[in-house]
Amino acid sequence: MKIDEFIRRHHLAIGSGVLLGLGLVHTGCANKETRNQEKPNIVIIYADDLGYGDLGCYGATKVKTPNIDRLASQGRLFTDMHTASAVSTPSRYALLTGEYPFRVKSFGPIFDEAELIVDTN
């Protein structure tokens, strides 16, 4: 694959990596006062068939989500979400391993008779 084609196909991943790297460099260059501050608590809510339009903290009114709304009011809300796949198994694989599911040819749900895609040894 030529470098131009590689960059064209992977420009989002390359850009994300550059931004992540700059963020890591920035946090590493913080002064001592900043480094000694308490680290933030990070909560990732990962649920099947749940979009940000389903939660009260994002304006939904059909279903009440008071606990998530309270948690959101004490933290930060994000409105630009991305997923590695349209179904849950490959998306969870990506979240837990940091790898894209297509690299291990995981495109859909895993069935009972399927081999594991993560080495458990």
Distance CA 15, CA 96 (A): 21
pTM above 0.85, yes or no: no
- Share of residues in the chain with pLDDT > 90 (%): 5
Locate 3 and state its tokens: 């470098």
- For residues 78-97, give the mean pLDDT: 76
pLDDT score at 66: 93
Give the residue extent of every domain in the chain: 1-38
Neighbours of 82 (CB within 10 A): 8
Q: Compute the mean pLDDT over every residue in the chain, rounded to the nearest whole number.
A: 74
Tens of pLDDT, residues 63-80 = 888 999 999 899 888 888
pLDDT score at 45: 79
Tens of pLDDT, residues 13-23 = 777 777 777 77
Locate 66 and state its tokens: 């008071």
pLDDT score at 102: 74
